[in-house]
Copies of this chain bind each other. A is one copy, B any other.
């Protein structure tokens, strides 16, 4: 036993009772590969518990594990509802090590190392004879663990009333949190001490969202980013949430103990399980370096490998679309103002009077296709192309869209032909209005239609309360639905970008056709009242942990009243918008502003034209939650690098040492920077563009304005005077 281990044990004894550790044979311990993370497991009077430390600092104090079961009225015996919380004894232990490097279909890096030590403890509940396995994987940047239930005579079907997984915090950390809610994640993140959550909760709720279901004044969502007084960055989330309800965290704010709080369906019950089965991974990421939280692949690594054998059709997408003009209010999704409401199976559009403001009309869509073709964009999203938008929202209406009938002024076939000739695809849009009953019924038909007309990507939407009525956006049944859509889409070689769906948990590793999600507060809120400037330097720590976000950046005309009646202003500088293409990783990036706005800022727009959507390497240069994020990324399989920096309302100065550049190359460095007096509120559109030659080891000094950022492209050329080194090694 080396010194580090001894120190850890010393700490351990200080936070758990000596007696337990010494006498209970159920106690097991495990280090991460580099020994920075330490896991302790034990059985305390029949109750399984664990703790986690990082470099001898407590991360999760002794916390209990278990599941509370509901009575199954269908069960023949009486034991099914005995909770899986106590009366356990250890019957088997397995330790192992895993080290594998895998290549994602798309991602921040071209390969990912999955290296962990594993502890699997098999527990037996004496009274019921039931077996439960707790599997822990200990990484250098955190821990994942899950419950597993093998098929067994006395545990076949069971109903989860509540999962009782605790995460006992070691202090009153600073947390970046949004209110726990069964139906929306579109809140502004709050920064507060854990002890302040309760008092700030009510005002933190996005009460105006189309579907709101908060459940506790100390309930928060994951991924939850925290920072301890000792500057430990701790993040709690989940991985591989399949056939299981989404987990929230409810805080006991006297003891600073979080406990899992699952999303119920209409019955109020939270999980209908059939063995063999398992919970998602519960994850605790930890580091003393905030950059490591962003660079971590723990969530992806805990997901299963890709299940799609042929992935050649899955490709990152840069796209524009008929969208922002409607969000801002200049044009409309609906075709007519004639209808009080619509019966989708008996539409009356032939005689309806057009309202003259319908965005998805043929001429306007052609304009976007031209724009995409001229600027190397892959696709054009068209929202409002299909009938029903006169009456799509706000009535818990089941039969809302048919997904196959275009509006009279949308020449589908002509536009598909036009786009094809220009080398551009149209992106499909399926707003469901959360009428899942309707979408499931029409899904096959909708996908066959897409396939027939050559669409390969769909943006789905789930605005409003779920139908089947009473169900919630993040319940087990809804999570099954989202996964069903992704799997069905894969059969048709269709990529899915789900909006208002469940927040992701790394499932894009297994199903990389899940090319993006919204599932958080996106750019659209800039037109509804605004996102705070720190919003996009929090999201990488929280929402993006589970997978990419279709944040829809690129609003260069930040002052909306210059071209519309909308009084809102985007709460970043113009350059801040450019930075997001690098700082907010996604293989699906919208070029969200209007073509005419990009024409006004053609020189700045060049960065958006240039920036890739797939990467070989990503290096987080500096990061602090809600303060700033700076990251350098190398384009997939190429020599060129791109750097983005984004900060909050305080501004930020960056010194970037270019030691990641390839030796033997000279780079043309184009720097898009905030103007000297730029400010997201008062002077958002002041920017400078400068070019210079740089090479490996050079340093860039950059200043971000309040609410601003910077964006840099580095185009590499071989230096005839220096021998190139390391290219092959770094880019297999």
Contacts and interface: CB of A to CB of B under 8 A. Distances in A.
Contact of A266 (B76, B267, B274, B396): B267
A593 interface: no
A274 B74 contact: no
Nearest to A466: B468
Contact of A396 (B272, B343, B445): B272
Q: Which of A151, A397, A468 has the most CB of B within 10 A?
A: A468
Interface in A100-156: 151, 153, 156
A398 B483 CA distance: 15
Given A265-B470, A266-B468, A469-B269, A151 B440 contact: no
Interface in A266-288: 266-267, 269, 272, 274-275
Contact of A274 (B267, B395, B437, B477): B395
A94 interface: no
Contacts of A398: 272, 477, 480
Contacts of A274: 341, 343, 395, 397
Q: Which of A74, A275, A343 has the most CB of B within 10 A?
A: A74
This protein's copies in its complex: 2
B396 A340 contact: no
A465 interface: yes
A465 B469 CA distance: 17
Nearest to A481: B437
Given A157-B341, A341-B156, A440-B437, A469 B272 contact: yes
A74 B394 contact: yes
Contacts of A267: 266, 469-470
A663 B557 CA distance: 93
Contacts of A151: 340-341
Nearest to A445: B444
A107 to B, nearest CB: 28
Nearest to A476: B398
Interface string A381-400: 00000000000001111100
B74 A396 contact: yes
A395 B343 contact: no
A471 interface: yes
Contacts of A471: 266, 468
A341 B145 CA distance: 26
Interface in A443-470: 444-445, 464-465, 468-470
Contacts of A266: 266-267, 468-471
* Centre residue among A341, A465, A470 by max chain B CB count within 10 A: A470
A484 interface: yes
Contacts of A437: 440, 468, 477
Contacts of A343: 274
Contacts of A469: 265-267, 269, 272, 477
A477 B468 contact: yes
Contacts of A468: 265-266, 437, 468, 471, 477
Nearest to A394: B74
A3 interface: no
A440 B343 CA distance: 21
A441 interface: yes
Contacts of A76: 394
A157 B342 CA distance: 11
Contact of A441 (B74, B440, B470): B440
Interface string A54-86: 000000000000000000101010000000000
Contacts of A444: 444-445
A80 B395 CA distance: 11
Contacts of A397: 157, 272, 274
Contacts of A340: 151, 153, 156
A449 to B, nearest CB: 13
A712 B444 CA distance: 51
A54 to B, nearest CB: 39
Contacts of A441: 440, 484
Contacts of A484: 441
A74 B435 CA distance: 14
Contacts of A470: 265-267, 470
A242 to B, nearest CB: 13
29 contacts: A74-B394, A151-B341, A153-B340, A156-B340, A157-B395, A157-B396, A265-B469, A266-B266, A266-B267, A266-B468, A266-B469, A266-B470, A266-B471, A267-B469, A269-B469, A272-B396, A272-B398, A274-B341, A274-B343, A275-B341, A398-B480, A437-B440, A437-B468, A437-B477, A440-B440, A440-B441, A444-B444, A468-B468, A469-B477
The 7 A-B residue pairs with the shortest CB-CB distance, nearest first, are A266-B266, A468-B468, A266-B470, A157-B395, A267-B470, A444-B444, A74-B394
Given A157-B395, A272-B396, 4 more contacts: A72-B395, A266-B468, A469-B477, A470-B470
